[in-house]
Structures are given as C-alpha cells and as structure tokens.
A and B are shown apart, each in its own frame.
Chain A
Amino acid sequence: MYEKRIRIFVVFSLLLLAVCVLRLAQMQLLSASSVQNEIAELKRRRGQSAQFKTIRGRILDRNGRVLATDQARFWVHIDYELSCFLDERVRRGMLLRASERADPEVVKAEVNEKIREKVDEDLRQIIDKCAQFRAVEPDVISREIQSINEEVWNKRIIQAWRKQFPNSKVREYYESIKRSVPISKARADFEQKLPDPNERLMLVSKVDIIEMHQSSPLLELKTDDDIFAAQLEFMDTNGIHISSKEQRFYPYGSVAAQTIGWVGPAMRKSDKEFFAEEKLATYLDGDVCGRRPGVEYVCEAILRGRRGEEATDIDGQLTSDIDTQPGKDVKLTLDIELQGDMEDYLFRYPHDPNLGEPGISAVVIDVVSSEILALVSLPVYDLNRVRYDYGALISDPNRPLINRAIKEQYPPGSVVKPLILIAGLEDGLITPEEAIDCLPEPAPVGWPNCMIFRANSAAGHTLRWNNDARNAVKGSCNIYFSRLADRVEPLALQQWLFEFGYGQHALAPPYSIAEVDGAELRRNFRQSPGEISSSIVGRALRFEEMPPLNPGERKYFGIGQGSLRVTPLQVANTMATIARGGVFKLPRLFGDPQSSAGVDLGISPETLAIVHDGMSAVVSEPGGTAFKPFEPFLTLFAAAGVKVYGKTGSTERPFHASFAGFAADSDGRKIAVAVVVEGGQSGSRDAAPLARDIIQLCINSEYIGESYFDDQAF
C-alpha cells in the first residue's frame, strides 16, 4: 500500500516540479518571453536620462540666408527666494507666521530685519543695476520682478486651495472637462470658502512648491560684452546668476513672420502625438515644437532632429551609443531681402488716411519656376517676441497672426476679368472683335452698373472707344464682363475658374521635399481654397463635388463679386498661368528638384494675345485703369526692358482694392504679382501704385529686367 501510494505522490510532485522548472526556463532562457521584453523596456527607460538634446534644423531662404536657427542666449536669472521679498503678501505672510512662534516678538524683529536687508539693500541694488543695463527706469524692472512673483504666488494660491478644499465643485468641474482650474476661479472659490484674508495668507505662506526654489529670467544679455559686464556686476550677488539657454532665434525678426512661424514648448497632446512612436524624437519636458501655422510647424518632421543617446542598462553598462542627428535645414523659395523690403515699403507707404493701418497682402511669384519669391501679410509681428506677446496678438483686431496671402478670402473684383474673357473666347461665345455696348444708362434691375457710369452718369465705355474684348479689359467694363459671364455655361465657368486654381488649395503641398529627406510630412499650411460656387463650402473639394453655380449669379462672377472668393496667392498664380501661356502650376514655397511641367490648359495663342494686349493697355495706354499710377514709371520700366501687364480690382462688399498682373523682360524672365489692400476703395488708386513699386523692387533685386543702378554706374 505505502510503496504504491508513495510512488503516486512522487510522480505528482515531479510533475509539479517540472512545471516550475519549465516556467523558470521560459522566463530566463526564452528571450522572447513577455517578462524579458518588459525588462528590456525597463532597462531602456532608465537609459533615457543619458540622452542629449535635439538640435533643430535651420530655415533658409532661397539665397541661403538664415531665417530661423537655434542660438544660445544668455539671461540674468533671479531666484524666487530673493525676488519674493519684493512681494508685499509674502512679507506679510512671513510676519504672520512669525507671530505664531513661541516668542513672536523676537522672531518678528528678526524677520523684519531680514526683510529690510533684502528689500532695501540686495533687491534695490539688483534693480538699479538691471535698469542700468537695459537703460530703463528702475520701476520697469520692479514691475517685471513683481510679475515673476505674481506668477509663483498664483501657483501657491492654487496649491493652498487644492490642499484645503480637495473636493471643491470648481475643481471637480474643471477635472471633468480636463482643464486646469483658472486662477481667477480658484481664487474666487478660495475667498468665498475662507473669507478671512489672514487665514488664506497663512495657508498660502505654508505652501512649498518647486517653483519657489527656482529662478526666472530677468534680463537678456545680447552681446559678449553684456555677458562679461553682467558677470562682473553680479559676481558676488546672492540670488542672481547668469545662465544660457538654447533658444530659437529669427534673425529677420518680423519679416515673413506668418510664413516662417515659431516654436513653443511641446505641451499639447496633439504636439506630443507627432513623434510618439520614435524614441529619440519624442518630446521631453522643455522641448519645443513648431506652432501652427508656419514652416516651423509644417516641416516639423524635417527640422526636429533626433537626440543622441548613451544608453546604459540598469547596471550602468553602456548598451548603445547613438550620435545626435541634427535636424535638417529647410530651404524656402522666399527671398527674405525682397520680402523684407516689400514689408517695409508697404508698411511705410502713405495710405489713404481713411484706411488707418490696413491689412495688406502681396505675393510675388517667379513665373517660370512657379517659386514664390515673397508672401507678404501685413501687419506682422516679431517672431522673437511672439511667445511673450501671444495674448495680445491673438486678440488684436487686425489679426496679425493670420497669413492673409493664403488664408484670407477676398472677392477678386475685376482682377477675375481676364479669366472671364478667356472662358468666353475659348468657348466661342464671343469674338475678339464683338463689342458689347456700355451706354450711359442704368443697367437693368439685378445687373451691375459700370464703374464709369457710377462716377459720372453721362459716361459710358462705348462713348470712349469700341467696347471690344481688349478695350473692355483696359477699361474694366462691368457691363461687358457681366454680360459675357452670363453667356458661359455655369459648369463651364466653374470649370475655368477651377482650372486656374480657384476653389482649391493653391500652395503646392510640401510633400515633395519630404520625400527627398525620407521624412514623412503629414502637415500642411493653413490655407483657404476660396469659393467658386453659389453656396459656401469652406474646404477644398474635388471639382466633381463642387456645389453648382446658380445661373443668375454668373453676372456677378463676371465682375468678381457675388459669392466668389479667392486668396491673394491664387490671384497671383492665375496671373502666372496667363503669363506662362496658359500652363498651370501650383506655386511652391519649397525648392523642388523635380519641378513639375504643369498642366497646359489648352488656351489658344490668339486668345492669350488678346488678353495680354488688354492687360498691357491697362497700365500703358491712356484710359487704362492703372495708367495714371504707372505712367511716370513706364520709361523707367522700358529702360530696364520690362513690360508690365495688369488688372485692377475694387470690391464694395467688403471694400478691398487689388491689383494683379505680371511683368516680363526681354530675357523671358517673368514675375507675377498680386496686391490686396483691405478697405481700399479703388484698385487704381490704392493698390496699383503698390504693385508698381513691388515690380520696381523686383527689378532692383534682379529677378527681372536690368537694374538701372547698373546703368547709372556706367
């Protein structure tokens, strides 16, 4: 009996032992087991502390000038432990706490002495020195220190309030919507629940948070001399030290601000998701990422770079040693000097005083390569200060953060007329010789009047000249173009506008450069597609998906009004397309080695000749809508070998003045230009002079024609 049953017991025990041994073998010897994977992960996570910083790539313009780069910047920092003495609440809190001690009078006297010493001696000295450095009144520095104190004090209030009332409704509410509690709400709730200010002060005074042991930047040191001087000045000062910080620096400040964009701390979830999969690129605390909507944001994948890593495992063994991969540079097609000159010029131009400081947008495209040379949106802002000024910028009624050239939608007004003429001629609905009468009489109800009639009820284009195709463009005749547009099939009209780039995103997607660098760009600029339908779409659609154009609206489309909306870049690009002889290309902001051939719209040379003739007449023939502003410059342009073609535009609802056109020289170089002045009353008065001078700037920058300066040198 015993032996048999012992044998069963032995077999049973051995089975269990075998299970344990198998489990051990699986855990220890099988490198694919889940525990082994977890350990590898743990080891790797520990090694992360040995990672170096990323180096962000630069942004360059077409000539290699640096538009954005990382730069070490030196700052004088002040410790909160010192700066807090300037805060009257902190001082009161210290005294209040002193009065709770066993021998309050003695301690109070000590605290008072300490406060006097810190405020009257240390801080006073520091404030005076900083004021000297910055050449400002000491009050300015005091206020800055106070704002540092205010920030920390607010954090302390929140902390004290959370600790005292952990279950408050306010907190629950903000947690439920996953937001942090705003200071005003916390403060209000705190005051309501604890009305005694001394009690609150006591609680806040007792808070101890990490920010209270940190320092804040107070004074930026821009030159080596400044740094040296500051080192000498603050050498023996407690609570003050000088440290450097890598910072994004934009040498051109405000030039092309909306296009370049800026960087900010990567804090939002959407930011952090971007490199979540890539260990050496994930955002750590203190890392920055591009903020919408500029190149910094769009090209994040190229600019970001990868951290180097010296990974050590849990025992301090070096397991991997990866060099830092600096982010790659991004080269734009912009000419930053031209862009800067244009911004400067447009900003200073003596506008009609009624306009105030108008929002202006201007685009220059190199016709042959379809590269954007300048993409101006006024007003601008300083990229180096945007992180501090963001609050003011976002609430600015002039909306400086918007990139007007690609995001803002305007009715094109008369600058659309060349396209209408092309549509009419190509579809055989009119001949170049056919005239449409523009008589000094009101248009039928529901039809637009001609501008010339509205200015003078005895005038009409037919009285001036034979109102045929080229003259209608020259005089910008509303009667001619509304009648002509009304002849074109609605779908055909939409098709023509679409083929010229209206109703679709104009800016070439930046993917082409991404492929070159092996990085995937999933981001694009914020741009508007415009509207070419009777109903508002608000996003880019394929042509087949477009809502229809109401046939009754064609007459307004003919003069660029109604619900037709376009961006300045689109307008400039239609001009580039016309200048190119009807070959459509998307305008590009990034250099592209494999420049696409474009799409030939199949416009006959005869039609193009008529349109070119009309657009040339606009600027160079008496009676052309832009003749007056261009007349004094025609000889100068001719001397440089440049011929200008253009079209003015004015819209009333809303009021905008615009000019679009192109300039060609004898070498075959061409640039397309578009200018929109918000609130401008007349294209010929408010926009054409600007375009004229932009062309002048392009000649100076040798994008077209021969510079007169060269001539003068001889």
Chain B
Amino acid sequence: MYNFLQGRMVAVRLCLLGAALILIGIGIATIYSVGHPAEESPAGQTERLAVFWKKQVVFAVLGGFVFVIVNSINYRWWGTVSYWLLAGVLALLALLLVSKFVVTLPFAKPINDSYRWISFTVAGRTLPSLQPSEFCKVAYIMALAWYLRYRSNYRNFKALIGPFALALLPMVLILPEPDLGTVMLMMPILFIMLFVAGAKVRHLLLIILMAILVSPLLWYKMEIYQRARISSVLLQNAWIREKAEQHPAVGNILVGTEFSARQWKNDWGLHLIRSKYAIASGGTNSGTGYGFRRGPFTKYGFLPERHNDFIFAVIAHQWGFWGCLGLLSLYVIIVSCGLEIAVNNTDPFGKLLAVGIVAMFVVEVLINVGMTVGLMPITGLTLPLVSYGGSSLLVSMASVGLLNNIGRSRPFSVAPKA
C-alpha cells in the first residue's frame, strides 16, 4: 500500500502525480474562492457554494486512497475483472433507468430532472451521491483495452462490432439520464483507442461516414434544448442569429422550433454568453486576471455552475490568460507522462489502457475548455481533477492511479532490455 511509488519511471510518475495534485489544489482553491469572494456579495449568491470546498477536500483525500488502492494490485488484475466492473456499472445505470421510466427508487431520485445520481441514506444522514456514468468511463476504457489486447479483435470490419457494442451499450444506458456529455466523450475515446491499437483507417473512416449519414436522423430526434446547445456554437454569431430569426426554416433546423434571439440570449445561450464574459473580462491587468477571490464573476452569481462545469471560466476570470496557459500546461504534463508510460509499456493491454486514459483526459479537457470559450457545444462535462464533483474526482484519481500502476510495473512477458 505504501510502495506505490516503487518501480520504473519514478521521475515520470512523480511528474504525473505532482501535476494531478496541483490541479486538485487549484480546483479546491477555485471552489473556495467562489464561495468566499474577497468582497461581500449580495445575499443568496454564494452561501450555497460556501461549503463545497470542504467536500472537495474530503473527496481529494478519498481520491488519494483510491489512488493507493488502485496501485496496490497489478493493473493486469484490474484487466481480468474489467468486464465485471463494467457489468456492475451498467447494472447501476440500468437501475437509474428503472428509476426514471418505471418507478422512482428511493436511492435514485432526480436532481434537476436528471437521473444521474445514486445516493444512500444511512442512519438519517445522506451520504455523498455517486454518479455511475463517471465510473462507467473508466470501467469502459478498461474493458475496451482488455478486449482490444488481441489483434484479431479489431483488424477486420466484422470484429469491430465487438468494441462498438462495448461502447454503445453504456451510451444507450447513459443517454436517457440524460447525460449528453459522457456519451459524447465515449465515441472519441473508442476511436482513439481503436486507432492507436491499429485498426484499419479505412474501417474507421467508413464508420465515421456512416455516423455522418445517420446524424441528421439523430439531430431530429434530439430535444429542443439539446439541439439549441449544440447549435449555440453557431448562434454566438450575431449574423447567424439574425438569419435564423428572419428565416423560420433556418431556425427550425438549428433549434427545432421558431428561433428567437431574445430567448436565446436569456435561455439557451445564457451559459455561453456569461461564460465568455467571465473569461474575456479576465483579460484585465494585461492578461493576469482579477486575482484570487476577486472579480465580478467571483462576487456575483452571474455564471451558473461556476464551481463545476464552468470552473475553467472562473479560473480564466481570476488568473487571466497566463493562468489559463499554466493550467493547460499541467494537463499537457499529465498527457505527456501518460503517453510516455504508454510508449514504454510493451504489454498491449497496458499500452491501450494508458492511451485510453490519456484520451479521456484530452477529450474531457478539450471539450470542457472548448465549451467555455464557445468552440464546443455545452455538455455537462467536467474539467477533470479541477471541477467540483466527488465521482469525477475519484474516477480521475483512479485513472491517474492506473497510469501510475502501468508505469511502474514491468510486464512479465517481456525480457528486460539490456
């Protein structure tokens, strides 16, 4: 349990762990700052946020334990149980669906009309709720890596049915919760893992082509608010908004109903507009931001979910452009270390697992940052290690733990290099 640092590639793994810990620290500090702004804020704007940093500290400590536990057993063992882990998570997801569609279960009550959380009440105290879809990500990556460790499982087109089934099953279960973000995350991870594992490019392209052909159908099946979120990337542009308002057909394609710029500004586009304002106003002081616990978006509750999905905007607001660069470079360190570990591991499972985890970080960070700056649709994806959220933090720490685990172990199947 104490020997998780022993093994190969100590420097790389220390960098990895250090960067992860710094990111968690930044996250806790930022969550603290929005609950305790330097200037008194109007009543009701920060009180709710005031305790979150403490919870996050607890989760960080728990995350440390998870890190250690993950490292206490060789990662290959985790591979052998990966199908079971996935099955367990899928069962939890199925329970949520039961709660949504059949009968509301006492431990799976909706929050904001979303059935994403499972929470147990023990002796009158509500334990922190868990988000199975978060755990699903890592279980899915492990199962996928375990499955793809045999070359025959992806070299011909028919064999790809397996991995896709592995991806589609959780996606189908998660989508109705609804949790568009996690679903959007899984496809890129699958593609990256298939690609790195060596699947034929033409097969992947064929699948992408099929997806593009099917997408209009999916588009029309989407809810209005989901469509509006995705088309908001286009609708930021005043010219497009104008056109969408003038031509009902355009508006109908973009949001599935009559488009009103006014409504967009007050409803669908609100998060995006506020997030952009928060980030852009952080350009003050020649790009170094307002400073810790300062700035209007820290003081006032203009930006919804600023401790969570939009924490990047708050960081950009407080620390400016250079602060953002620092934050992103920490992720670059994690990704570089992860890839270094992947490259140095000769075991296909270890390699694929490492790549899958790295891909997860890359996609999450890019989507989260992209959505706050208006380059990506707003999906409820968190910024790994930084955003508030127990499940997310535990999963991220488990992922970092797995990378550490892969990095330090010497696969038995390979002779040490001379």
A residues with a Cβ closer than 8 A to B are 1-3, 5-6, 8-10, 13, 16-17, 19-21, 23-25, 27-29, 31, 33, 35-36, 38-39, 42, 314-315
Q: Which of B18-26, B255-263, B335-343, B404-412 faces chain A?
A: B335-343
Contact of B316 among A9, A16, A28, A39 (CB under 8 A): A28
Q: Is the CB of B366 within 8 A of A33?
A: no
A24 engages B324 (CB within 8 Å): yes
- A38 vs B39: C-alpha distance in the bound complex, in angstroms? 24
Interface size counted on chain B using CB atoms at 8 A = 38
Residue B351 at the A interface, CB < 8 A?
yes
Complex contact B374–A13 (CB within 8 A):
no
A21 and B316 CA atoms in complex are apart in Å by: 12
Q: Are B343 and A6 in contact (CB under 8 A)?
A: yes
B-side residues, CB < 8 A to A, are 39, 192, 195-198, 276-277, 279-283, 287, 295-296, 299, 316, 320-321, 324-325, 328, 332, 335, 339, 342-343, 351, 355, 359, 362, 366, 369-370, 373-375
When A36-B283, A315-B296 are in contact, do A20 and B342 touch as well, CB less than 8 Å?
A: no
Supposing A24-B279, A27-B276 touch, asked if A2 and B320 sit within 8 A by C-beta, the answer is no
Instruction: Among B295, B328, B355, point to the contact of A17 (Cβ < 8 A).
Output: B328
Residues of B within 8 A of A9 (CB): 192, 195-196, 355, 359
Min Cβ gap B343→A in Å is 6
A42 touching B375 in the complex, CB below 8 Å, given contacts A9-B195, A16-B366, A28-B316: no
Alpha-carbon distance between A39 and B284 when the two chains are bound, in angstroms: 11
Query: Do the beta carbons of B283 and A2 come within 8 Å of each other?
Result: no
Query: Is B324 a contact partner of A6 (Cβ separation < 8 A)?
Result: no
B279 touches A5 (CB 8 A): no
Q: Is the CB of B196 within 8 A of A35?
A: no
Is B196 a contact of A13 with CB atoms below 8 Å? no
How far, in Å, is B189 (CB) from chain A's closest CB? Answer: 11
Q: Are B281 and A39 closer than 8 Å at their CB atoms?
A: yes
Whether the Cβ atoms of A38 and B295 lie closer than 8 Å is no
Known: A21-B324, A36-B283. 20 other contacts (CB 8 A): A1-B198, A2-B197, A3-B343, A6-B196, A6-B343, A9-B195, A20-B366, A20-B370, A24-B316, A24-B324, A28-B279, A28-B282, A28-B283, A28-B287, A28-B316, A29-B283, A31-B283, A35-B280, A39-B277, A42-B277
Contact A28 B355 (CB under 8 A): no
B339 touches A6 (CB 8 A): yes
CB distance from A18 to the nearest CB of B (A): 10
Chain A residues closer than 8 Å to B276, beta-carbon distance: 27, 35
Contact A13 B335 (CB under 8 A): yes
Select A39's contact among B197, B198, B280, B339, beta carbons within 8 Å.
B280
B198: A residues at CB distance < 8 A: 1-2, 5
Q: Of B277, B328, B375, which is within 8 A of A19 by CB? A: B375
| Residue numbers in A under 8 Å from B195 (CB-CB) | 5, 8-9
Expressed in whole angstroms, the minimum distance between the Cβ of B45 and any Cβ of chain A is 14
Which of B277, B351, B370 is within 8 Å of A2, CB to CB?
A: B351
Q: Give the secondary structure class of A's interface.
A: helix
Query: Is B321 in contact with A2, judged by CB distance below 8 angstroms?
Result: no
Whether A24 pairs with B366 at a CB distance below 8 angstroms is: no
The chain A residue with its CB closest to the CB of B361 is A13
B373 closest partner in A (C-beta)? A23
Residues of B within 8 A of A23 (CB): 373-375
Question: Which chain B positions have C-beta within 8 A of A25?
Answer: 321
Q: Point out the residues of chain A lying under 8 angstroms from B343, CB to CB.
A: 2-3, 6
Let me know if B280 and A36 touch, CB within 8 A.
Answer: yes
Residue in contact with A314 in the complex, picked from B280, B296, B362, B374, CB distance below 8 Å = B296
| Chain B residues in 8 Å Cβ range of A19 | 375
CB within 8 Å for A20 and B280 given contacts A6-B343, A10-B339, A29-B321: no
- Closest chain-B Cβ to A37's Cβ sits at a distance in Å of 10
Contact A17 B321 (CB under 8 A): no
Q: Is there contact, CB below 8 Å, between B355 and A27? A: no
Contact in complex: A29, B192 (CB < 8 Å)? no
Q: How far is the CB of B102 from chain A (nearest CB, A)?
A: 39
Closest CB in chain B relative to A616 CB, distance in Å: 73
B321 interface neighbour in A1, A5, A24, A315, Cβ under 8 Å: A24
CB nearest to A25 among chain B residues: B321
Whole-angstrom CA separation of A486 from B400 in the bound complex:
111
Please list 17 pairs of residues, one from A and one from B, whose beta carbons are closer than 8 Å in the complex, sorted by A's number.
A2-B343, A5-B198, A17-B332, A19-B375, A20-B366, A21-B324, A21-B328, A23-B373, A24-B324, A24-B373, A27-B283, A28-B279, A28-B283, A28-B316, A28-B320, A35-B277, A39-B280
Report the Cα distance A9→B366, complex, angstroms: 14
Inter-chain contact A28/B351, CB cutoff 8 Å? no
Q: Given the complex, which residues of A lie within 8 Å of B296, measured CB to CB?
A: 314-315
9 closest A-B pairs (Cβ-Cβ)?
A28-B283, A35-B280, A28-B321, A27-B280, A314-B296, A23-B373, A1-B198, A5-B196, A13-B362
A20 cross-chain contacts in B, Cβ below 8 A: 328, 366, 369-370, 373, 375
**Chain A residues closer than 8 Å to B39, beta-carbon distance:** 315
- Contact across chains for A13 and B321 when beta carbons are under 8 A apart: no
Residue of B with least CB distance to A3: B343
Partner of A27, one of B279, B299, B328: B279
By the criterion CB–CB under 8 Å, are B366 and A38 in contact? no
Residues in B neighbouring A36, C-beta threshold 8 A: 280, 283
Of B281, B339, B342, B369, chain A has the most CB atoms within 10 Å of the CB of B281
Query: How far, in angstroms, from A29 to B287 measured CA to CA in the complex?
Result: 6
A2 to B199, CA, bound (A): 11
Alpha-carbon distance between A5 and B148 when the two chains are bound, in angstroms? 15
Q: A2-B196, A27-B373 are in contact. Are A13 and B287 (CB under 8 A)?
A: no
Q: Considering the complex, give the chain B residue whose CB is closest to the CB of A33.
A: B280
B342 touches A6 (CB 8 A): yes
Q: Would you call B373 and A6 a contact (CB within 8 A)?
A: no
Please name all residues of chain B whose beta carbon is closer than 8 Å to the beta carbon of A28 when the two chains form the complex.
279-280, 282-283, 287, 316, 320-321, 324
Contacts of B283 in A (CB 8 A): 27-29, 31, 36
Q: How far is the CA of A36 from the CA of B192 in the complex (A)?
A: 37
Q: Distance in Å from the Cβ of B202 to the closest Cβ of chain A? A: 14
The residue in chain A whose Cβ has the minimal distance to the Cβ of B331 is: A17
Q: How far is the CA of A17 from the CA of B325 in the complex (A)?
A: 11
Asked whether, in the complex, the Cβ of B369 is within 8 Å of the Cβ of A315, the reply is no
Query: In chain B, what residue has the closest Cβ to A314?
Result: B296
Interface centre among B192, B320, B373 (most CB of A within 10 A): B373
Give complex CA distance A27, B287 in Å. 10
**Contact A21 B325, CB 8 Å, known A28-B280, A314-B296, A315-B295:** yes
Q: In the complex, A138 Cα to B373 Cα: how many Å?
A: 69
Nearest CB of B to A317, in Å? 11
Measured between beta carbons, the chain A residues less than 8 angstroms from B359 are: 9
Residue of B nearest to A28 (CB): B283
Residues of B within 8 A of A17 (CB): 328, 332, 366
Bound Cα distance A656, B283 (Å): 76
Please report the C-alpha to C-alpha distance between residue A276 and residue B283 in the assembled complex, in whole angstroms. Answer: 31
Residues of chain A within 8 A of B355, CB atoms compared: 2, 6, 9
> Which residue on chain A has the smallest CB distance to residue B368?
A20
Bound-state Cα–Cα, A1 to B151, Å: 12
Specify which chain A residues have a CB less than 8 angstroms from the CB of B366 in the assembled complex.
13, 16-17, 20
> In the assembly, what is the distance between CA of A28 and CA of B372, in Å?
13
A314–B280 CA distance with the chains assembled, in angstroms: 14
**B33: min CB distance to chain A, Å:** 15
Q: Which of B197, B283, B295, B374 has the most CB of A within 10 A?
A: B283
Q: How far is the CB of B59 from chain A (nearest CB, A)?
A: 27
Q: How far apart sit A16 and B325, CA to CA, in the bound complex (Å)?
A: 14
What residues on A are CB-neighbors of B362 within 8 Å? 13
CB distance from B340 to the nearest CB of A (A): 10
- A20 to B364: give the CA distance in the assembly, Å: 13
Q: Which residues of A contact B295 (CB under 8 A)?
A: 315
Q: Which residue of A lies closest to B342 (CB)?
A: A6
Report Cα–Cα, A80/B332, bound state, in Å: 67
Q: Shortest distance in angstroms between A49's beta carbon and chain B's nearest beta carbon? A: 15
Chain A residues with CB below 8 A from B192, complex form: 9
List chain A residues, Cβ under 8 A from B373.
20, 23-24, 27
- The minimal Cβ–Cβ distance linking A384 to chain B, given in whole angstroms, is 43
A39 contacts across to B, CB distance below 8 A: 277, 280-281
